[in-house]
Structure 1
Amino acid sequence: MRIFSGLSAFPITPMTASGEVIAEDLAGLVRCIEAGGADSVGLLGSTGSYMFLTREERRRAVAAAVGAASSIPVIVGVGAIRTDEACALARDAASEGAAGLLLAPVSYTPLEEAEVFAHFEAVASATTLPLCIYSNPSTTKFTFSPELVARLARVPGIAAIKLPLPSGDLATDLAAFRAAAPALSIGYSGDWGCKDALLAGCDAWFSVAGGLLPEAASALARAAMAGDRDEADRRDSAFAPLWDLFRTHGSLRIVYAAAQMMGLTTAEPPRPLLAINDDLRAKVAAALL
């Protein structure tokens, strides 16, 4: 199986109030992901709060995750505002044993396509690891066109793209990117729609829930990738209360609360994010039943 395929499970990065990674808790999450049947660990994505961590703490997180994962690859987010910083983070991840990289075009000033292309070209050349384009326009304010992705697909080292769920027809969106870049592995995030993305023939599900409930998410992914719509629908329906919470409140605060309830960590979301209130915690608890 290619590295950017199947279920890629994205855990939170437990940290102290001062931003120090709680390595023991992170390692425990990674061991659960591996035991649950996921195909890879997606470390330091948005769920992993990568922009809240210093370079040193991000490196510690990679070391902890790679040390805990004995049989599945660890894909590491290396997004940073400056290109030289992203290159340095890529080299750090490679030196700590990461198997692949994930890069979003993080910026303060909105980026143009030529700037994004140059940024990705530089980071892809910083190591020999395969790199996945991370399209997350809700946070980066940049949207990848199929035309730009076609150009990026010709850059040595760029091997995959992680797409958000489209506002329009999913099959049409997948077909457009598949035609533009047939050699790339194409996956989606947005857990509530990824069953349909896998049934439509995408290669990967980049999953928040997989970082928390890997066994159930793995079973859903396997059913959908096998084309078993009835089984995939059945397993997806069990997640419906959690999907509703993700859509309504966003996933990050929800998964922190869930991880606490499951005894996986006592860490709170990094400030200025605040923990959810008691009413919402009750809904999270009910969704986990």
Structure 2
Amino acid sequence: MKVEPITVSEFSQSVMAVPPLARRADYTLDEAQNRALVAHVEAGGVRTLLYGGNANLYHVAVSEYRELLDMLAQIAGPQTRVIPAIGPDYGKMLDQARILAQTDYRTAMVLPLAGFTTPQGVATGLRRLTDVAGMPFTLYIKSEDYIDVDTLAALVADGTLLAVKYAIVRPDPSDDPFLRRLLNSVPASQVISGMGERPALVHTRDFGLAAWTTGSGCIAPHALMALLRAAKSGEMDEAQRLYDRFLPLETLRDDISLIRVLHDAVTLSGIADMGPILPLLSATPEHALPAVEREARALLAFDRTLAGNAGVKEVKQAG
């Protein structure tokens, strides 16, 4: 795991992969299978791993948290930044912040809590948590009600927040007055699109966001990083071609469950066996599994084609 101080520039250099978490039949952490998935993602050039919703950290016990942090630090390569999540409630975050303070992690993401919060209460809690953990946080926002733009901007300005994971869903991602107001106060380099590939091109091209978070990119990391390069360089025809490859699996995730479908898609692709998903969630409905397997394997096959072409290109250039 990369332990050097984190810089804002890192956010624009790699898409943030958000992997599921492998567990054995008894729900204990499966280091070997998690290592296999991380190695696959790293092989595609991804250098930031965010363990949050897709890893079902909403339901991770505080008693398991240190073991989880130690495992993730161990299985990630020396140039891979790992960002674990905390929360979503304040008590759990406080306990986790105390654990984080004893590690080499440089930031963590705060999972959003629906209800029982106020913007000022969120700000007060985050400032205290930063002091306890000894690090700035990444805030995951999914609702305009969770925190207002002025309060959010103040938290970025005073160093409480290092980044914002923006995940407020819009029917048309290009029509987003809240995001435009946010970017008037917070640098786009510190805002990451947090909804997978579907709004990614609009958010990077039209709003200038640093990058995006991805679930399906855990299956196709070469295609993912190629998409980032094409989007950043303005090669929009190539970006669209790559983007379209992600949509079938992303549509299944949108229609059924973002977390559950990705968890099972990784297993069905053959990359790694994720085992059972931690309660209070359950597996993808059985009737949908054939479609999930079909799209996961198709996406992986496309990724391997890209990886093979890149290898041939490198050999030719070396020759």
Is 2:31–2:71's contact at 8 Å kept on the other side of the alignment? yes
Determine the structure 1 residue equivalent to 2:311.
none
Moved over 6 A (4+): none
Work out whether 1:123 is the aligned partner of 2:125.
Answer: no
Unaligned runs of 5+ in 1: none
Determine the structure 2 residue equivalent to 1:47.
54
Letter in 1 for 2:174: L
Please state how far the C-alpha of 1:12 moved relative to its aligned partner.
Answer: 0.7
Please state how far the C-alpha of 1:89 moved relative to its aligned partner.
Answer: 1.3
Work out whether 1:152 is the aligned partner of 2:160.
Answer: no
Letter in 2 for 1:163: Y
In structure 2, distance between residues paired with 1:129 and 1:22: 28
In structure 1, distance between residues paired with 2:122 and 2:26: 32
Is 1:8–1:206's contact at 8 Å kept on the other side of the alignment? yes
CA 1:126–1:22: 2 relative to 1, 3 Å: same
Letter in 2 for 1:78: I
In structure 1, distance between residues paired with 2:174 and 2:181: 10
Work out whether 1:198 is the aligned partner of 2:201.
Answer: no
In structure 1, distance between residues paired with 2:252 and 2:174: 22
Alignment of 1:56-71 (within 5 A): 56-70=63-77, 71=79
Secondary structure of the 1:25 match is helix
Work out whether 1:212 is the aligned partner of 2:215.
Answer: no
Per-residue CA shift, 1:68-117, capped at 9, x if unaligned? Answer: 2221111111124134x31331342353332321112436x521111111
Secondary structure of the 1:74 match is strand
Please state how far the C-alpha of 1:18 moved relative to its aligned partner.
Answer: 4.5
The 10-residue stretch of structure 1 (199-208 or 87-96) with the greater mean CA deviation from structure 2: 87-96
TM-score after normalising by structure 2: 0.81
Work out whether 1:247 is the aligned partner of 2:254.
Answer: yes
Work out whether 1:179 is the aligned partner of 2:187.
Answer: no
In structure 1, distance between residues paired with 2:102 and 2:10: 18
Secondary structure of the 1:187 match is strand
Work out which of the two has the higher radius of gyration on C-alpha atoms and give 1 or 2.
2
Per-residue CA shift, 1:217-264, capped at 9, x if unaligned? Answer: 222122112222111100001112112112211211111211111230
Determine the structure 2 residue equivalent to 1:134.
140
Is 2:173–2:202's contact at 8 Å kept on the other side of the alignment? no
Determine the structure 2 residue equivalent to 1:268.
276
Work out whether 1:170 is the aligned partner of 2:174.
Answer: yes
The 10-residue stretch of structure 1 (88-97 or 206-215) with the greater mean CA deviation from structure 2: 88-97
In structure 2, distance between residues paired with 1:223 and 1:267: 35
CA 1:257–1:166: 2 relative to 1, 3 Å: closer
Work out whether 1:282 is the aligned partner of 2:303.
Answer: no
Per-residue CA shift, 1:169-207, capped at 9, x if unaligned? Answer: 436444321112238600112221112212221012111
In structure 1, distance between residues paired with 2:98 and 2:215: 25
Please state how far the C-alpha of 1:151 moved relative to its aligned partner.
Answer: 2.1
Letter in 1 for 2:125: H
Is 1:110–1:142's contact at 8 Å kept on the other side of the alignment? no
Unaligned runs of 5+ in 2: 1-7, 299-319
Determine the structure 2 residue equivalent to 1:33.
41
Between the aligned residues of both structures, percent identity stands at 20
Determine the structure 2 residue equivalent to 1:76.
84
In structure 2, distance between residues paired with 1:40 and 1:94: 20
Letter in 1 for 2:126: F
Per-residue CA shift, 1:36-91, capped at 9, x if unaligned? Answer: 11130002x111111221123222222112112221111111124134x3133134
**Which one of 164, 178, 194 corresponds to residue 161 of structure 1?**
164
In structure 2, distance between residues paired with 1:26 and 1:39: 16
Secondary structure of the 2:192 match is strand
Secondary structure of the 2:191 match is strand
In structure 2, distance between residues paired with 1:222 and 1:9: 15
